[in-house]
Copies of this chain bind each other. A is one copy, B any other.
Amino acid sequence: MTTPTAPATRGTERFLASELAGEANFLIARARSRGSAEANARLAPLGLRVRSYSVLSLACSGLHPTQRELAEFLSLDPSQIVALVDNLEKDGHVRRIPDPNDRRSKLIDSTEAGQALYERARALTCESEALSLAGLSAAEQRQFLALLNKAAFPPN
């Protein structure tokens, strides 16, 4: 009388009752691990990963972020941004523009090729997201995103 068909996540269900399974940190880490693995796999054919994709996305936003702003928004070290922008720039997807207001900082903008790449990549990450959130109803997904937003941008 137990699981006549194949078990879904085979074997791990017994740990759902553990204390760890009730901790937000653990659940978020697991969701991220699975989600980003899925997204990375889809982005790989484009020569992108979630990291470079997120930089490309902001470069394509028309908001002209500085590298410092990218670091803060993406929760990355400024030195990581250097490498990410270097690679995207080398491939001609992104440009460093001198900031007219502050000659220390550089505004990141996208090229035509970068914009085109982003549109393809964005479609893939949306597919990926839909799959990752397949267990949630449409209403739940909206709820989830709203709550995630509060968790990702706390009032600290």
Contact = CB atoms under 8 A, between A and B. Distances in A.
Most buried by B among A21, A32, A132, A149: A32
A12 B69 contact: yes
A129 B54 contact: no
B30 A75 contact: yes
A133 B24 contact: yes
Contacts of A143: 143, 147
A48 interface: no
B63 A24 contact: no
Interface stretch (A33-41, A81-89, A93-101, A109-117): A33-41
A85 to B, nearest CB: 15
Question: What copy number does this chain have within its complex?
Answer: 2
A147 B150 contact: no
Contact-residue bracket for chain A: 35 or more
B24 A28 contact: no
A20 B72 contact: no
Most buried by B among A26, A140, A155: A26
Interface of A: 8-9, 11-12, 14-16, 18-36, 39, 50, 54, 57-58, 61, 63, 65, 69, 72-75, 122, 125-126, 128-129, 132-136, 140, 143-145, 147-156
Given A26-B54, A132-B154, 15 more contacts: A8-B156, A11-B69, A15-B65, A18-B61, A20-B61, A23-B129, A24-B132, A24-B144, A27-B152, A28-B148, A28-B152, A29-B50, A29-B75, A30-B75, A144-B144
